[in-house]
Amino acid sequence: MNTALWQRLDLWARNTTPFGIAVLLVILNVVPTSIPDYAAITPTLALIAVYHWAIYRPNLLPLTAVFALGLLQDILSGAPLGVYVLVFLTAYGIVLSQRRFLAGKSFMIYWLGFAIIAFGAGVESWVLASIWNFALLDFRSLFFQFLISLGLFPIVAWMFMRWQQAFLPQD
């Protein structure tokens, strides 16, 4: 009975996972790790999610979801409210416009694209937070954040790829 309903529910559950995983990444971002000095250079993991889903399944991570992610990131990390919202929205918009170029390319291109986006995001957040505080903030820790997220990107992106192949319906 009601197989259609179950199928719809199942599809709905699968389709919400990109957003769910991204929320989890935001929360994981602030969990204390006790690694010396890691707190200062914790990469913004959710940016990887925004980048990946903007290329492969933008319909599953719509604008409002990106907005919500940024807001949660701002609130939990203690950054000025709105900074990560703007950063995520900008990254999403740029990636979406370059989607045709990036989708289905080799991993190196995919990685390079993220490098450019992540660097832009770092600069943007630095400029925004500096204006908000009326002071020049320290850029070095942001740069290390950028390097760490570049290093973590293949691992997280690989998991997204596998997830997408295993659980999400084809586009």
Residue of 152, 96, 93, 151 whose CA lies nearest to 124: 93
31 touches another protein (CB under 8 A): yes
147 touches another protein (CB under 8 A): no
121 touches another protein (CB under 8 A): no
63 touches another protein (CB under 8 A): yes
Other CB atoms closer than 10 Å to residue 136's CB: what's the count? 8
Contact 63, 13 (CB under 8 A): no
Which of residues 128, 156, 157, 168 is near another protein by CB under 8 A?
128
Q: Which stretch binds another protein (CB under 8 A): 1-9, 104-112, 124-132, 153-161?
A: 124-132
Tokens, residue 135: 């002071």
Contact 163, 22 (CB under 8 A): no
132 touches another protein (CB under 8 A): yes
Q: Which stretch binds another protein (CB under 8 A): 1-9, 99-107, 137-145, 151-159?
A: 137-145
Q: How is residue 138 annotated by DSSP?
A: P
Which of residues 13, 39, 116, 155 is near another protein by CB under 8 A?
39
70 touches another protein (CB under 8 A): yes
Helices marked H in 78-139 — which ranges? 83-97, 99-102, 107-133
